[in-house]
């Protein structure tokens, strides 16, 4: 007979502070005694009223996913959660999880993923809580979880065998009902409500070749159902579509560095008309055309400019939002459409209040994330389908679409330079160096302009009036150019220094330059100011997008 066990631990874990995307650590750390269990215990305590509630649980399939889900089910049973909904094989993309939370009116969802970080036993693991609106837990909740972990010295679980998660079914476990569902079917149905699959399918089967790279991560099954079963493409349109615990040794981050195989097929070999990729948990996307890479900031602007072409948005959109480091390309479009454009800190949770209040319909970040009010997460496959719908309507190539967009709205040249896994001390010193000099920089010459504003970005939420300080260092020039510096918290080794460069041009003669050339004076200027190459011992950034 099943019984509830109470497990005592010698001392609380002091390093379980969630970041903007939950708690991310090495896989080996999560495999350590009691580490995962105590964090889940803290989540359930912090949620309140979990008894009798509905909870969604799933993950991106990385190493440890299945065993972690079964441990979580046992802990939830001990807390008398009413219903636990798990997708088959425990595979659940982050946007699909957001949809399930909203569909089943769940109290929240526990998503097992380290997003775009590498997987495997020597890789990373993560746990993220999404709340009842489907979006990431706000800081008030994550702080409550962290405070709980600092004092937690025990957790409880139901000592019972958990049935296989491979097939659909419903199981009664103590006072909890476990439902294993087809999570892919529900998500694809949502996409069919938004997009015209018949029109897209007809277009992509007529001299328009596609390749989609799932990076051996969670979107593989979703992509097969959409592209092969619904749109009628062959299996050869899918690359790395089998979810693997170590992602087949790939780094599941859809950018030009880590999705090199895909990039080579489109940019060098020019073998396909359209290419796309999604990351480990399916919320990020990269869009490519034949010989053409679409910057994520431009992608957000193009999507916003063409919402009227997509059935799900035919009645118009209320507004748009972007994260502060994202280029202002979407601002130009919003002004033309006469709709509001909001600027928020980095982190999808900051879009939640704007979406829930109806102030925005579309939102996005420069870090390969775009989404809308259909869920409360960024959604990689949604963005890919959005691009295909636009192309099917306009019957043009990717490069023609983006060039026509620049000719109409002007171009925000933009690039991000990531210095990954550098010494945390060095990263902090560079950051603090600029931070300490912000006031004295105002009025000084920099690159091809004069700095008119230099600050540490602070955000006041227009809905709940909450304030988020220290969101990134900005230098804004009199010609509208921007340089931004941030420290990233999504890695697990050392620190990542992120630099963002932006310059707007309207002249038709200046629209088609290499971004690294167009932004060269800003790139040179910040290195000269902060001595980045010497301090990091890196001649070039790890990743350039």
Average pLDDT over residues 118-123: 94
User: Does residue 237 carry a pLDDT above 60?
Assistant: yes
pLDDT band for position 95 (cuts 50, 70, 90)? very high
Contacts of 181 (CB under 8 A, 6+ apart): 85, 86, 87, 88, 168
Looking at per-residue pLDDT, the higher value among 124 and 495 belongs to: 124
User: Does residue 151 carry a pLDDT above 90?
Assistant: yes
Q: Record the tokens describing residue 509, joined without a space.
A: 């003669």
Domains of the chain with CATH codes: 3-181 (3.40.120.10), 187-409 (3.40.120.10), 411-544 (3.30.310.50)
pLDDT of residue 492: 52
Angle (CA) 291 296 300, round 5°: 115
pLDDT band for position 19 (cuts 50, 70, 90)? confident
At 169-193, the pLDDT tens digits run: 999 999 999 999 999 999 999 999 9
Average pLDDT over residues 300-313: 98
User: Does residue 136 carry a pLDDT above 60?
Assistant: yes
How does the average pLDDT of the chain come out, rounded?
A: 95
CB 359 within 8 A of CB 341: no
User: Does residue 162 carry a pLDDT above 70?
Assistant: yes
At 414-457, the pLDDT tens digits run: 999 999 888 889 999 999 999 999 999 999 999 989 999 999 99
pLDDT of residue 234: 94
With 0-12 / 13-18 / 19 or more C-beta atoms within 10 angstroms meaning exposed / middle / buried, residue 354 is buried
Catalytic residues: 115
With 0-12 / 13-18 / 19 or more C-beta atoms within 10 angstroms meaning exposed / middle / buried, residue 172 is exposed
Percent of the chain with pLDDT over 90: 90
pLDDT band for position 206 (cuts 50, 70, 90)? confident
User: Does residue 491 carry a pLDDT above 60?
Assistant: no
User: Does residue 316 carry a pLDDT above 90?
Assistant: yes
Angle (CA) 330 332 273, round 5°: 55
pTM of the model: 0.93
């Amino acid at each position: 007979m099943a019984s509830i066990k109470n497990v005592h631990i010698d001392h609380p874990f002091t390093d379980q502070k969630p970041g903007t995307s939950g708690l991310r650590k090495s896989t080996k750390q999560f495999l350590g005694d009691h580490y995962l269990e105590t964090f889940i215990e803290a989540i359930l305590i912090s949620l309140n009223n979990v008894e009798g509630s509905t909870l969604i649980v799933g993950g991106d399939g990385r190493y440890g996913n299945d065993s972690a889900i079964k441990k979580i089910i046992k802990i939830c049973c001990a807390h008398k959660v009413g219903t636990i909904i798990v997708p088959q094989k425990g595979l659940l993309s982050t946007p699909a999880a957001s949809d399930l939370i909203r569909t089943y009116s769940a109290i929240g969802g526990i998503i097992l993923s380290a997003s775009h970080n590498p997987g495997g036993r020597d890789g990373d693991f993560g746990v993220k809580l999404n709340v009842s609106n489907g979006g990431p837990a706000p800081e008030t909740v994550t702080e409550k979880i962290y405070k709980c972990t600092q004092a937690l010295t025990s957790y409880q679980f139901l000592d019972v065998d958990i049935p296989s998660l491979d097939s659909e079914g419903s199981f009664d476990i103590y006072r909890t009902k476990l439902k294993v569902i087809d999570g892919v079917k529900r998500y694809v149905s949502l996409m069919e409500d938004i997009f015209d699959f018949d029109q897209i399918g007809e277009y992509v089967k007529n001299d328009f070749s596609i390749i989609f790279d799932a990076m051996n991560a969670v979107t593989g099954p979703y992509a097969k159902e959409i592209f092969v079963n619904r749109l009628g493409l062959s299996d050869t349109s899918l690359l790395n579509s089998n979810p693997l615990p170590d992602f087949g040794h790939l780094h599941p981050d859809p950018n030009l560095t880590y999705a090199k195989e895909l990039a080579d097929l489109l940019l060098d070999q020019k073998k396909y008309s359209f290419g796309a990729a999604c990351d480990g948990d399916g919320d990020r996307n990269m869009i490519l055309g034949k010989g053409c890479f679409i910057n994520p900031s431009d992608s957000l602007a193009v999507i916003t400019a063409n919402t009227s072409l997509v059935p799900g948005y035919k009645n118009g959109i209320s507004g748009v939002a972007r994260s502060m480091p994202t280029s202002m390309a979407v601002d130009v479009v919003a002004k033309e459409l006469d709709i509001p454009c909001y600027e928020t800190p980095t982190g999808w949770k900051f879009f939640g209040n704007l979406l829930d209040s109806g102030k925005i319909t579309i939102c996005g970040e420069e870090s390969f994330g775009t989404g809308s009010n259909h869920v409360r997460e960024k959604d990689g496959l949604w963005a890919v389908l959005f691009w295909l719908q636009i192309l099917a309507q306009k019957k043009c190539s990717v490069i023609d679409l983006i060039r026509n967009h620049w000719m109409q709205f002007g171009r925000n040249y933009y690039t991000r330079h990531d210095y990954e896994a550098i010494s945390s001390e060095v990263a902090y010193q560079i950051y603090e160096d600029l931070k300490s000099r912000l006031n004295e920089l105002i009025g000084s010459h920099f690159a091809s302009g004069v700095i008119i504003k230099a600050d540490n970005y602070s955000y006041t939420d227009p809905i709940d009036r909450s304030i988020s300080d220290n969101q990134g260092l900005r230098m804004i020039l009199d010609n509208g150019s921007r340089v931004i510096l941030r420290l990233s918290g999504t890695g697990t080794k050392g620190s990542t220094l992120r630099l963002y460069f932006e310059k707007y041009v309207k002249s038709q003669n200046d629209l088609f330059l290499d971004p690294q050339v167009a932004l060269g004076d800003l790139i040179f200027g910040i290195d000269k100011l902060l001595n980045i190459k010497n301090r990091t011992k890196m001649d070039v950034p790890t990743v350039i997008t």
